[in-house]
Amino acid sequence: QNVFFSLQNFPSQRSVTLRNIEVKAMADVVPIPNDTYKLGFIGAGKMAESIARGVVKSGVLPPSRIRTAHLSSGRRTAFESFGVKVFDHNNEVVEDSDVVIFSVKPQIVKDVVL
């Protein structure tokens, strides 16, 4: 039985045991330095805000490396209050991000992606 598992949370380990199955790394995992990439959110709702705050609080990325877009002053303020760059349009987020998370309701995913 093959099990693929990221050991990025266990950088000093070459394997980990899950449910009595030893899982070995397929390759060395090298963390990406947090000053080399930008994270973008398509959808600036409460879920995206919670994830972004968690990313910042955990030290994964500083807020200056996170992007989103929204026209509503309330949502803009929510993100800007902890240092996130807020654009007017989603295409700006995509162009300025290395990793993009879609944080939108399922019924509008198709409209957002296409």
Over residues 27-57, the pLDDT tens digits come to 565 666 777 889 999 999 999 999 999 999 9
| CATH number of domain containing 109 | 3.40.50.720
In whole angstroms, give the CA distance from residue 100 to residue 41: 6
51 and 100 housed in the same domain: yes
46 and 94 housed in the same domain: yes
Whether 48 and 109 have beta carbons less than 8 Å apart is answered as no
Question: Which residue segment(s) compose the domain that 98 sits in?
Answer: 39-113
pTM of the model: 0.71
Strands (E), the chain: 15-18, 21-24, 39-42, 66-69, 85-87, 99-102
Q: Residue 113: its pLDDT value, please?
A: 82
In whole angstroms, give the CA distance from residue 13 to residue 34: 21
Q: What is the pLDDT along the chain (114 residues), one digit of tens a residue?
A: 444 445 455 555 555 666 666 666 655 656 667 778 899 999 999 999 999 999 999 888 999 999 999 999 999 999 999 999 999 999 999 999 999 999 999 899 888 887
